[in-house]
A and B are shown apart, each in its own frame.
Chain A
């Protein structure tokens, strides 16, 4: 799946995450989290998995995490991908 436009999903509220996705060459993931030290790696791999599952190979993704549970982060990433993908 190709990301053809910038898109965002989620909010900056506590327990949520805000995701921005943009067309790019290659994958670039930028993570900012209030639980960076405790869960940074888990969040990163969850995001990578979501991108892989959706066949996104080229994108720049920015995550601002406000302590969201993993199921919430996954939902927000998926929403951003669907909003940024090609035909729809």
Chain B
């Protein structure tokens, strides 16, 4: 028996793809991914219509999808994150059916529960053997973890592994195993390494970012959570990384050994692991070369699936053991609801990703954002879109003060006692508007272009078109 199929063209036919079916993709190759475009182009050229694309995230590299949408090849999209290139067109109303946004935990939950069945899953695998055992840790397109692909591999009706590094059976140290895989397709390249992982992610040099990072580290230090066993997640944004660096300094100075660092893993978390700040890293996705190197060589650095990372219906998920998470926001309102889906003009340019999942799980969920970006205040009366509900957000750190969700009475007192600049979020809004002026409200469209599905499957909010 051989699972190796010569081309994507053949496998599309073999897998039994028909009009109206759902295909799925994962985003570990990020903006360097070739696989989604190659597969969709083949699907289009075979004349298939009405295809539903379920992708863990869509990046600017996937903008060719627009053509397939215009031609009726793709009529449904669900994703956890959609970058500005596609997002803008979606906000302009290019799709008939609203896009469905889920979280990184909600997506695998719905796949496992059978609510979003996948007909064919395409797994971009940096290394695979002839029976479909595969891994992201090795090969010219190495991306590290394949965390988001597990649910697709386990629950899709057909599973196709696409690789540019086919090795003899059995490969060692595989992540996704052959028993889930139907076909293996060798191709010349699955991605452009330059877009897959960055070289080294630099911490910000922006003074405002550094001030926010320093405040964030101080909030953690005085939260009562920073002790042996501490667990932590942060994004790859400049200020978040700087906060991780400052946090590392504090942990080293106080001799604190944490339990785990999690998330999209960057070199900064790897540094913290190697410095003894954590016993292990739980990795659903690697962001840079250092993280890829680490997950390949260091047994303390573990690949985890999106179900283990964040699914609300798993028997347990790692987000529920998380102490602190640092997150971003494009807007936050006076009820601490956060928007990470749309930009200041209402165009889709992101998505929750793991935002809502980690915010729900972590004991302390902290947003880092400047008081204003390009004259637009970060704090509003009401966010354009509720990506993460305010009940899950504990603290907002800006350069002009730290706002604590009033539900955290004790934390407010602790931070005040530590001399940190605590400010009421309404006051922060007023203070910011004194500097920027009060922005005029944007005209809202009358058509829903996207549904934001909360991590528990509820319809949390909708996004309207931009007129």
A39 touches B375 (CB 8 A): yes
Chain B residue nearest to A71 (CB atoms) is B435
Chain A 12-61 interface residues, beta-carbon cutoff 8 Å to B:
14-15, 34-35, 37-39, 41-42
> Total interface residues on B, using CB and 8 Å?
12
Q: Is A68 an interface residue (CB 8 A)?
A: yes
Chain B residue nearest to A70 (CB atoms) is B437
In the bound assembly, the distance between CA atoms of A70 and B442 in angstroms comes to 20
A37 touches B374 (CB 8 A): no
In the bound assembly, the distance between CA atoms of A69 and B376 in angstroms comes to 10
In the bound assembly, the distance between CA atoms of A46 and B374 in angstroms comes to 17
B440 touches A34 (CB 8 A): no
A67 touches B376 (CB 8 A): yes
Chain B 310-356 interface residues, beta-carbon cutoff 8 Å to A:
344-345
A15 touches B374 (CB 8 A): yes
> Total interface residues on A, using CB and 8 Å?
14
B375 touches A35 (CB 8 A): yes
B375 touches A67 (CB 8 A): yes
Q: Is B204 an interface residue (CB 8 A)?
A: no
| B333 shortest CB reach to chain A, Å | 16
Chain B residue nearest to A72 (CB atoms) is B375
B440 touches A69 (CB 8 A): no
Chain A 54-86 interface residues, beta-carbon cutoff 8 Å to B:
66-70
In the bound assembly, the distance between CA atoms of A32 and B437 in angstroms comes to 18
In the bound assembly, the distance between CA atoms of A35 and B440 in angstroms comes to 10
Contact mask for chain B residues 170-200; partner A; CB cutoff 8 A; 1 contact, 0 none: 0000000000000000000000000000000
In the bound assembly, the distance between CA atoms of A39 and B440 in angstroms comes to 7
13 pairs, CB–CB < 8 Å, chain A vs chain B: A15-B374, A15-B375, A34-B374, A35-B375, A35-B376, A37-B345, A37-B442, A38-B375, A38-B440, A39-B375, A42-B437, A67-B373, A70-B437
Please give 18 more A-B residue pairs, beta carbons under 8 A apart, in addition to A67-B375, A70-B437.
A14-B374, A15-B374, A15-B375, A35-B344, A35-B374, A35-B439, A37-B345, A37-B440, A37-B442, A38-B440, A39-B375, A41-B440, A42-B437, A66-B374, A67-B373, A67-B376, A69-B435, A69-B436
Considering the complex of A and B, which 9 residue pairs feature the smallest CB-CB distances, nearest first?
Answer: A67-B374, A38-B439, A67-B375, A38-B440, A35-B375, A34-B374, A37-B442, A42-B437, A69-B375
